[in-house]
A and B are shown apart, each in its own frame.
Chain A
Amino acid sequence: MPTLRQVKKRIRSVISTRQITKAMEMVAAAKLRKAQMKIMQVRPYSEKLDHILVHLSASASGELMHPFFAAREVKKQTLVLLTSDRGLCGSFNSNLIGRANAWLADKAPENTELVLVGRKGYDFFKRRPWTIVKTFSDWGGNLDYDKAREVVDLLTNRFLNGETDEIKLIYTQFLSTTRYKITEATYLPVERPVVDEQKAATQDYIFEPSPEAIFTDLMPRYAYTKLITVLADSFASEHGTRMIAMGAATKNAGEMIDTLTLQYNKARQAAITKELLDIVGGAEALSG
């Protein structure tokens, strides 16, 4: 049986832990709202861009090519893994890293390279045999358009220079606050949009200056927007998971405080009873 003082000390420590987890939960909730807003904000743009891309592909003759569509024989691959910078978000990072490991299992280290977004991924992979081309960390879970541009430039340049033949993304798709889905997607080469022949025939677009020129302008933006979407999803999932994890921690701390308080009161009562018995015993001894 722990002493009164020990129990009291533990209660105080659990209370301050609860305060911290509670604060983290609220911070995560606020950041989640912001990240969700980013998702909503970028969505109309990316939808319209998709829309234009489809029409462009439909109207332009089959010869239309952009380097981003170039599906080469895959010799070298790049994996982009999006993890969080910080921990305390449940199994978020371990799930992601687990998926990345599964994907890497049958790949040869000399033909596979990594681009890591988020420090947790780097912490794990820095001691592994895979080549790390670059790590982007300290985003703090917020979307930074300049940094995103840097990532896009790096990836597209590597692809265009033939340093890699395929770029895969492993990230979390945000479904709801409590749910995310770990997703594998091909970033480059870009898959050709599916063309609805009938719809394409009814709308005869005029292109200025030419479909080719618009393609040249459009594809870099398409790549950029896609990455922004992925980043926003990833950040929203991170904060959602953290919010849930911290909420659970806060609840657990509360339960622990209740149990400890009970223990404390019991110990206190026992001490009082013991003292009373001592006094009564003493008095009896005197009178006797």
Chain B
Amino acid sequence: MYTLSIVTPEKIFYEAEVTSLIIPGSEGYLGVLSDHAPLITAIVPGKVRVKDTNAKEIDMAVSFGFFEISSNHATLLVDSVEFAKNIDLERAREALERAKRRLADAAGEIDLPRAHRALARAKNRIRIAGREDE
């Protein structure tokens, strides 16, 4: 059991004792249990699965960020995060369309990395929300 806080620039999103955590690191998904060695990793858009002290699993969609753990204190710093069950599929689809359009008629004017990030975010949210429906 260890402490996890999920923080975005807007707020502290989640703070609780958890038993395990699966996060989308930049090198692939990784599981984090108690007494993990100190680690700092980059986070890419994907699904975070938290198992709390009641063994209940909570799924969240995250975008880019960082994860840090040392002496049983874990912090997940992300640009945005949402509970999987709260994702607005309609909006996510719209965002995806928008990102695709922007990339399609890229006239050198737009911020390409940002458009790609938006695309990755939207795809991720749709994927995670979709999985919830099944």
A residues at B contact (CB < 8 Å): 41-42, 44-45, 48-49, 51-52, 55-56, 145, 153, 203-209, 213-214, 217-218, 221, 224-225, 228
Contact = CB atoms under 8 A, between A and B. Distances in A.
Among B5, B7, B26, B30: residue with most chain A CB under 10 A: B7
B38 A208 contact: no
B12 A209 contact: no
24 contacts: A41-B9, A41-B10, A44-B7, A45-B7, A45-B8, A45-B77, A48-B68, A48-B75, A55-B40, A55-B68, A153-B111, A204-B38, A205-B38, A205-B39, A205-B40, A207-B39, A207-B40, A208-B39, A209-B41, A213-B42, A214-B42, A217-B42, A221-B79, A225-B9
A235 to B, nearest CB: 15
Contacts of A205: 38-40, 70
Contacts of A221: 79
Interface of B: 5, 7-12, 25-27, 30, 37-42, 64, 66, 68, 70, 75, 77, 79, 111
A206 B79 CA distance: 22
A56 B41 CA distance: 11
B27 A208 contact: yes
Contacts, number: 74
Contacts of B41: 206-209, 214
A41 B77 contact: no
Contacts of B11: 41
Contacts of A52: 40, 66, 68, 77
A206 B40 contact: yes
Given A44-B12, A45-B77, A217-B66, A209 B42 contact: yes
